[in-house]
């Protein structure tokens, strides 16, 4: 018998070459005696291999001249030191991760409180808005010109009767819609745009239990989400409009959604 | 001085790979590398010859990455992006060969930056736990739990995407 019990932690250590050599044989024996742990270790090993493969080519790419120049002091002036764009992309991915992984974690922990559902809905809606409203050509999957099909498709996939609100009275025309993952399954995102090019999005998902309403923002000049949960719907309107105008548009969207359900 | 600069240039391919794994998009990753190199040059006197340039540079880059992620996340700065710079976000993962690679690259982007960095340093860059913990400025125990959680989360995301794909096929 070996001197100690092994745990899942040892799977990671073994994979990363951190398991002391003298424990290796006992570890292998433990794996062979625990098929579930063995399967897990094989999956993790395959994931590590896939990660290495995915990035293997990067180190062999020719180095861009601007990076070599940066070291030898011949760097061309860039607009604003450390003001490069990379962190904008990173931040959007972070927001997306909050939506995606957050939903996953909430699902795992069985968190069903209204407050958690609120935050999750708002985070997901903001993340979707940040990513897709910034898209010029690929913002939506189905354009407004195909509205009937879009409503039927999204209703079916989200599992709710979904009527795209008409917001022309508020100055916004429908651009189209797309299907997104959400904590509870799927969500529909409808994108609208005004004459000045400002965009807002309406995020709708099934929310069987929770009810409530509120406003959610990360702060600063970032987008706000005005949301409601009720009647089986979770709904958020996201945009960077002045608060009064966003609230008005959101109210109008919610009323039409509900009217659509009852019609 | 030029020896040091040559040593730094020699690390660029590895720095680019680390940055690409952290950020996925090529231009964004190279911007991060460039920020890192510029910062390193302002501190070149802090770097003792004999010390590994790799660890020194990776540490600098990691701190730049985490600082920006935290600030951006807290302040919601991504939101201020003008509409027409959206192409940076849309960058398809075509740089990453086959579908399996794209899938794992996407999943890697969806886990938290702290876990992502720990996982990449150890799994892709091959640093030991002690080296990675040192670069990230965390105790070894924290590093280990980031790696374990990161791998679990990555696997769950991949399982999830397999499930979604299967569901879609059935419904079509």
CB of B79 less than 8 A from some CB of A: yes
For CA atoms A106, A108, A114, A117, give the dihedral sign: positive
For residue A154, the model assigns a pLDDT of: 93
Q: Which residue of B has its CA nearest to A60?
A: B13
More confident residue, A253 or B92: A253
Lowest mean pLDDT among A18-22, A75-79, B160-164: A75-79
Task: List phi, psi (to 5°) of A206.
Answer: -80, 130
Please report the domains of chain B, with CATH numbers, ordered by start residue.
1-91 (1.10.1740.10), 95-172 (1.10.10.10)
Chain A residues near residue B65 by CB distance under 8 angstroms = 90
Look at A197 and B83 and tell me if their CB atoms are within 8 Å: yes
What gap in Å lies between CA A54 and CA B95, rounded to an integer?
A: 9
With beta carbons less than 8 A apart as the criterion, state whether A162 and A155 touch.
Answer: yes
If you average pLDDT over residues B82-97, what whole number do you get? Answer: 43
| Residue B79 banded pLDDT, cuts 50, 70, 90 | very low
Look at B34 and A66 and tell me if their CB atoms are within 8 Å: yes
Look at B148 and A8 and tell me if their CB atoms are within 8 Å: yes
pLDDT (tens digit per residue) in B135-145: 999 999 999 99
What gap in Å lies between CA B114 and CA B112, rounded to an integer?
A: 6
Whether the predicted pLDDT of B170 surpasses 90 = no
Whether the predicted pLDDT of A54 surpasses 60 = yes
Closest by Cβ to A134, choosing from B41, B89, B108: B89
With beta carbons less than 8 A apart as the criterion, state whether B77 and A220 touch.
Answer: yes
pLDDT (tens digit per residue) in A187-211: 999 999 998 888 999 999 988 777 7
Question: Which of 110-149 (B) contact A at CB < 8 A?
Answer: 110-113, 119-120, 122-124, 128-129, 144, 147-148
Please report the domains of chain A, with CATH numbers, ordered by start residue.
8-60 (no CATH), 86-262 (3.30.200.100)
Helix, strand or coil for residue B18? helix
For residue B72, the model assigns a pLDDT of: 63
For residue B97, the model assigns a pLDDT of: 65
Mean pLDDT of chain B: 80
3-state SS of A99-163 is HHHHHHHHHHHCCCCHHHHHHHHHHHHHHHHHHHCCCCCCCCCEEHHHHHHHHHHHHHHHCCCCC
Q: Which residue of A has its CA nearest to B98?
A: A54
CA-based radius of gyration for chain B: 18
If you average pLDDT over residues A7-18, what whole number do you get? Answer: 94
* Of the candidates A134, B92, A112, B164, the residue with the CA atom closest to the CA atom of residue A103: A112
CA distances from B171 to A162, A181, B168 (A): 19, 16, 5
With beta carbons less than 8 A apart as the criterion, state whether A120 and A109 touch.
Answer: no
| Residue A78 banded pLDDT, cuts 50, 70, 90 | very low
Residue with tokens 């929770």: A210
Helix, strand or coil for residue A190? strand
What are the residue ranges of helices labelled H in A34-74? 35-56, 65-71
If you average pLDDT over residues A29-35, what whole number do you get? Answer: 94
If you average pLDDT over residues A134-145, what whole number do you get? Answer: 85
Closest by Cβ to B147, choosing from A12, A59, A218: A12
Structure tokens belonging to residue A233 = 């719907």
For residue B73, the model assigns a pLDDT of: 60
With beta carbons less than 8 A apart as the criterion, state whether A249 and A170 touch.
Answer: yes
């Amino acid at each position: 018998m070996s001197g100690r019990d092994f745990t899942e932690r040892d799977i990671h250590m073994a994979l990363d070459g951190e398991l002391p050599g003298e424990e290796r044989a006992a570890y292998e024996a433990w794996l062979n005696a625990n098929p579930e742990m063995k399967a897990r270790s094989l999956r993790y090993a395959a994931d590590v291999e896939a990660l290495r493969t995915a990035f293997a080519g990067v180190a062999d790419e020719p180095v861009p001249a601007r990076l070599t120049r940066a070291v030898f002091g011949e760097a061309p002036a860039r607009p604003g030191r450390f003001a490069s764009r990379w962190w904008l992309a990173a931040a959007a991915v972070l927001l997306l991760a909050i939506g995606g992984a957050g939903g996953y974690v909430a699902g795992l922990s069985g968190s069903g409180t209204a407050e958690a559902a609120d935050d999750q809905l708002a985070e997901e809606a903001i993340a979707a808005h940040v990513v897709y409203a910034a898209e010029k050509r690929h913002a939506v999957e189905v354009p407004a010109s195909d509205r009937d099909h879009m409503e039927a498709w999204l209703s079916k996939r989200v599992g709710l009767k979904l009527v795209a609100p008409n917001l022309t009275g508020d100055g916004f025309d429908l651009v189209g819609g797309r299907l997104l993952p959400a904590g509870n399954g799927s969500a529909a995102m409808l994108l609208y745009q005004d004459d000045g090019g400002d965009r807002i999005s309406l995020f709708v998902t099934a929310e069987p239990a929770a009810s409530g309403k509120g406003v959610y923002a990360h702060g600063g000049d970032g987008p706000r989400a005005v949301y409601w949960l009720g009647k089986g719907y979770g709904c958020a309107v996201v945009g960077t409009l002045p608060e009064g105008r966003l609230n008005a548009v959101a109210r109008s969207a919610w009323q039409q959604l509900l009217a659509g359900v009852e019609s | 001085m030029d020896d040091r600069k040559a040593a730094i240039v020699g690390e660029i391919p590895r720095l680019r790979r680390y940055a690409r794994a952290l950020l996925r998009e090529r231009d964004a990753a190279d911007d991060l590398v460039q920020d890192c190199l510029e910062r390193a040059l302002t501190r070149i006197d802090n770097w003792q010859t004999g010390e590994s340039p790799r660890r020194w540079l990776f540490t600098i880059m990691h701190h730049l990455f985490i600082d920006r992620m935290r600030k951006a996340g807290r302040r919601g700065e991504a939101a201020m992006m003008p509409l027409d710079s959206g192409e940076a976000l849309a960058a398809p993962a075509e740089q990453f060969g086959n579908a399996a690679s794209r899938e794992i690259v996407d999943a890697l982007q969806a886990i938290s930056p702290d876990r992502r960095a720990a996982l990449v340093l150890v799994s892709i860059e091959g640093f030991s736990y002690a080296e990675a913990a040192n670069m990230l400025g965390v105790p070894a125990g924290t590093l280990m739990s980031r790696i374990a959680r990161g791998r679990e989360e990555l696997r769950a995301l991949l399982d999830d995407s397999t499930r979604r794909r299967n569901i879609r096929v059935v419904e079509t």
